[in-house]
Structure 1
Amino acid sequence: MVILHLLSGSYASRDEEGVKLWQFDTDAGELKEIAGVSGIERPSFLTVHPSREMFVSGSEDFNGELVSYEVKKDEGTIKEHSRSGGNGDHPAYVTIDRSGKWLLSVNYSGGNVNVFRLENDNTIGGQTDSVQHEGSGPNKERQDAAHPHSVIQVPEKDLFAVSDLGTDAIYFYQLDAETGKLSLQQALAAEGGSGPRHLAYHPEKPVFYSLGELDSTVTVYSFDQDNEISNVQRVSLLPKAYDRENTAAEVAVSEDGKILYASNRGHDSIVSFEIDAAGKLHSPEFTSSGGSGPRHFSLVPGGDWLIVANEKSDSLIVLKLENGRPAELVQEIQTDSPVCVKFITRKDK
């Protein structure tokens, strides 16, 4: 039996235990809650430090905060370590870079990208940079202004991809590892009205996958050594017969690079595609998310399970994978408005 540890973030109120620590039994596919912490409003997205002993949550609220926590998985405890202003409204995504020295965040309503220094004791230090996005898109309700929704580090580089739902663009910023300053390297225009939200890199191929929240698509991009990016393919995340409302939320690639997964809110499904030798997607299969509003999911290290955070039905769902495809709902656990699932430990630990 191998026990892994994971964290969940949520849209819980400050008085509730909005961040929780869980154990996961990789043989039985069973989740067990072992700790929780309150004191932060809407602690939605989480990022885990490379040391695996600390993590940061964004408080997705007006004048949102960033809060760091110490986690001791063997003792089953979470303790607040430091707190900082987030420099804007609704921090929607946080990332700690691979060096563990810098915390990056994006404010969905504030429209900016921010960098904060992480001190040697993992305290959130001073802000070293902030970049304001400007612009809008054709969807007047959702794209009235810039709305950066994620900041994700490019593999093996000090380069960060910021997907902006409001401006239909993906911005690539170089991070100066000494000063914590950002410099824009490239702005990639996405399909108008698509609303880029998150993206995922293939573990082996020079390919990444951009999820369009508003039009429920994934766009496949290839890139070369000179960072020239090409649009390779664009696919729908929905069955052809589905004609009701839907917004896509999360995208991920399996450890072996053979399957891509994405979540649909409305259709309430996890769609999985086979990935071919060129990185293109085909043979979609649709599996119920086991609840309503699958805002986020995580693949369990080892490749046998997938855990879904169903925001609207207040549930975490464990799905068994067979040949990489979701095949069986094994467990459902009730927990208030979960919106993020992040693993602390890996399979080999």
Structure 2
Amino acid sequence: MGGADSTDHGGEHRAYIGSFTSGGGRGVTTAAVDPVTGALTTLSVAAAEDPSYLTLARDTGVLYAVNETEGGAVSAFRPTADGLTPLGEAVRVGGSGPTHLSVSAGRLLTANYTSGSVSSLPLAADGSPAGPAHVLPHEGRGPDPDRQERPHAHQVLPDPTGRWVLSVDLGTDSVRVCAPDPATGALRVHSETELRAGAGPRHLAFHPEGAVVYVLHELEPQLTVCRWNGASGQLEPVREVPVASTGASGAVRAYPSAIVASPDGRFVWVAVRGADSIATLSLVDGPEEPRLTGAVDCGGEWPRDLAADASGRRLYAANERSGDVTWFDVDPLTGRPRRAGSVAVPAATCVVLG
């Protein structure tokens, strides 16, 4: 899930695109966004090691990137008219293979896939992160011997109230609700919601109204609709909904990757690798009743991330294996995306609008 807002940079809107440098990517690419057509034009590249996920702090304007390496670190950048200026050196997160990060209450949070933990780092006044990190290890495993032999935290995200932090773990088939310590920023587990064994939850998205959560699974092409109680910090599964056809025997396996709820709360979009598609789910029956209405080609291969602009009328897919970011115009009545163009970005992993 990329950022949904946009900020003006001397009359230009920007997009920031991560890429796997170990797979031939360049680091973090800055692109201009045409305010009328949504077309991307690359402007510059900032060096970072395997920046697989990015997030933009809306209060300070600082862009953060995980360095998805065995050592595990985060990099920070200040957007400028010319691109991105590094804010110091990369900072270790105390976990390996971080795949996601977010900002909450003056802290930078990371989900560390390989080590199965989440980390919390303090942020200085200028937005730069510092160590040492507070690390919360996850515990447990799932039935898949190849993917769930241990915890694999895949996403960490604050809830809309700012009181809670939710961490999605593919390895333990669960979502943990954490309460940050107001003094130290350290996370402690408040509750844990178990999902169906073997589903492999990867990412979640909140409905704009804040009381419904959509948990997307990677190991099975479906999402779990949950009720969210921001007062008590409780997540309650309600139903499962398919996001891709299982297809005929021998068909390519689908690996969902990213989920976005439209800003107006009428649609949910899901990127599906393997099928290389973007699925549209309608919420016409209500936030708890998403219904799969169709899918379109992602415009490339292996869509790892998906982002919507502030209007919800345009989507961007980061296609890792084909090395491009494709943008789509969204039909305002049906929510169906229509391919409008693409730009080459080798080993693209993530796109954030800023």
Structure-1-length-normalised TM-score: 0.92
Q: For 1:126, what is the secondary structure of its paired residue?
A: coil
Separation (CA, whole Å) in 2 of partners of 1:327 and 1:85: 39
Q: For 2:53, what is the secondary structure of its paired residue?
A: strand
1:214-241 deviation digits (Å, cap 9, x = unpaired)? 0111000013443443322201111253
Report what 1:21 is aligned to: 30
Separation (CA, whole Å) in 1 of partners of 2:70 and 2:235: 35
Q: How does 1:126-137 map to 2 (within 5 A)?
A: 126-137=131-142
Report what 2:91 is aligned to: 84
1:229 is matched with which residue: 235, 245, 254?
Answer: 235
Q: Give the superposition deviation at 1:3.
A: 4.3
Separation (CA, whole Å) in 1 of partners of 2:133 and 2:121: 6
Report what 1:249 is aligned to: 257
Is residue 2:200 matched to residue 1:195?
Answer: yes
Backbone CA RMSD of aligned residues:
1.9
Separation (CA, whole Å) in 2 of partners of 1:108 and 1:240: 27
2:346 is matched with which residue: 327, 331, 336?
Answer: 336
Does the C-alpha gap of structure 1 residues 221 and 124 become closer, same or farther in structure 2, counting only changes over 3 Å? same
Q: Give the superposition deviation at 1:165.
A: 0.3
Separation (CA, whole Å) in 2 of partners of 1:177 and 1:50: 21
Does the C-alpha gap of structure 1 residues 205 and 81 become closer, same or farther in structure 2, counting only changes over 3 Å? closer
Q: For 2:336, what is the secondary structure of its paired residue?
A: strand
Q: How many correspondences in the alignment?
A: 339
Is residue 2:77 matched to residue 1:69?
Answer: yes
Report what 2:294 is aligned to: 285
Does the C-alpha gap of structure 1 residues 168 and 283 become closer, same or farther in structure 2, counting only changes over 3 Å? closer
Letter in 2 for 1:238: A
Q: Give the superposition deviation at 1:90.
A: 0.7
Is residue 2:244 matched to residue 1:238?
Answer: yes
Q: How does 1:74-153 map to 2 (within 5 A)?
A: 75-82=81-88, 83-97=90-104, 99=105, 101-153=106-158
Report what 1:312 is aligned to: 321
1:32 is matched with which residue: 36, 41, 45?
Answer: 41
Letter in 1 for 2:53: F
Structure-2-length-normalised TM-score: 0.91
Cα contact 2:243–2:292 (8 A) shared by 1: no
Report what 1:212 is aligned to: 217
Does the C-alpha gap of structure 1 residues 14 and 84 become closer, same or farther in structure 2, counting only changes over 3 Å? farther
1:106-158 deviation digits (Å, cap 9, x = unpaired)? 21111111110001122212235211112211010111111000001111122
Cα contact 1:11–1:339 (8 A) shared by 2: yes
Q: Hey, which of these two has a bigger chunk of strand by percent?
A: 1
Letter in 1 for 2:340: V
1:261-313 deviation digits (Å, cap 9, x = unpaired)? 11110100000111122521114210110111000010011121100000010
Q: For 2:14, what is the secondary structure of its paired residue?
A: strand
Report what 2:267 is aligned to: 259
Q: How does 1:262-273 map to 2 (within 5 A)?
A: 262-273=270-281
Report what 1:55 is aligned to: 63
Report what 1:5 is aligned to: 14
Separation (CA, whole Å) in 2 of partners of 1:125 and 1:308: 31
Q: For 2:52, what is the secondary structure of its paired residue?
A: strand
Separation (CA, whole Å) in 1 of partners of 2:201 and 2:342: 30
Report what 2:282 is aligned to: 274
Cα contact 1:158–1:176 (8 A) shared by 2: no
Is residue 2:304 matched to residue 1:299?
Answer: no
Cα contact 1:102–1:117 (8 A) shared by 2: yes
Separation (CA, whole Å) in 2 of partners of 1:14 and 1:66: 19
Letter in 1 for 2:252: R
Q: For 2:132, what is the secondary structure of its paired residue?
A: strand
Gaps of 5+ in 2: 1-7
Report what 1:185 is aligned to: 190
Q: Give the superposition deviation at 1:164.
A: 0.4
Deviates more, 1:171-180 or 1:219-228: 219-228
Q: Percent of aligned pairs with the same residue? A: 25
Gaps of 5+ in 1: 345-349
Separation (CA, whole Å) in 2 of partners of 1:227 and 1:159: 7
Q: Give the superposition deviation at 1:159.
A: 0.8
